[in-house]
Structure 1
């Protein structure tokens, strides 16, 4: 019987074997992340945004869903606020602003319900608590104080929404949300302009509240801004005349949204 040859340290434990083993481990480490996330692209199940889900209209982010909800909520309180302004406003400019709120949110509410249905999103059926308080404040006010509260509360609320619309429009990858943001941008800007045309918006208080991130005031609304002194009394200053709205019947609050159908299989 021949004796076995002595072990000489060759095989995978040699220097060459260790180098090959290390290179293989490195290659596996590089390939694994690509494999593990390759089938998740666009679904949101990734490190960038864990709240994003896939739809046939493009990825739908958490911000997108929040925006759709806010568009619906805005209509649930601003549309009745517009109806109230046409009844209680003491100036034609306030009544004009109310008419714009009605028309704008009738349009947006129809759009947002269609978008929510296609994306399988459930919408709220009533304003949130803060919005209910704003409506209560406007309901309790009368005369010029009502005009002042209406202009300042609605103007500050629209200013906050305006920045959200811009953020969504700039970042969304969903085609339905992008189109809704375009419509919301046009509508909100129109409302901002007609509210400012009432002459009751206190821009100093508005800038302070926006900078502080506060909500529209519920009490002690700022007084109408005092007219600027005319540096040349010989030249008369003619204020801008608001557009007179056409007569229209009373609009009902948009019907509550029913549970949308389940989204189609992707």
Structure 2
């Protein structure tokens, strides 16, 4: 993960190869493999399927028991945390809500990966923070303390912090949590237009179908399907993995797959 990689016009490739994770003597994920380069890859699956665990191996919160995670031509676990942070940024679900920082200060922490302590930013840092705030629509919140924000506002601030980091790979764990429908669509449209490699988890399968280029379905910690949304989100897979009855149609507004659901008490024609 060199400076040349970061400055290259092509997004950095992310490769997860045979990753296995054990926690407290239990195998959580088993030989998960996937790759992404310049596209949006969505991890889907029911609660407990291992989606967030896979992400944690990418942003260095959980070291795999086997397999490796590569960003560009380097294993993310063989470089320093700062080197990894210059290439990979993450937006996670369990960020603290009681930070004694303003929104602008919180977003500026994304610049630490580039070697400058807080309070000693230069014009490049300031530009990156201002651009990230504008992209995520939090300029008006700049002087608010993070502890005073709603869940949705905090989510957008965390995305802005990640963007200020200027990563080549962006990892998003349920990025639309706490957001109303307008901000869900705005955030996913913003993510779609970024010139980076993106790996995300999404519970909302229609958001996954609308915005992801490829999907990887997990069940019991293993990959059970990989492909485009149309290839993965079939009635058979949705029944087998999620235990639901569903059928896909073409959304007339977007031309993308859209799922229709029926609960267990309803009969589908």
Give the TM-score band, short-chain normalised.
under 0.3
Max Rg structure: 1
Q: Which has the higher helix share?
A: 1
TM-score for both structures, normalised by structure 1: 0.24
Q: Which has the higher strand share?
A: 2
TM-score for both structures, normalised by structure 2: 0.23
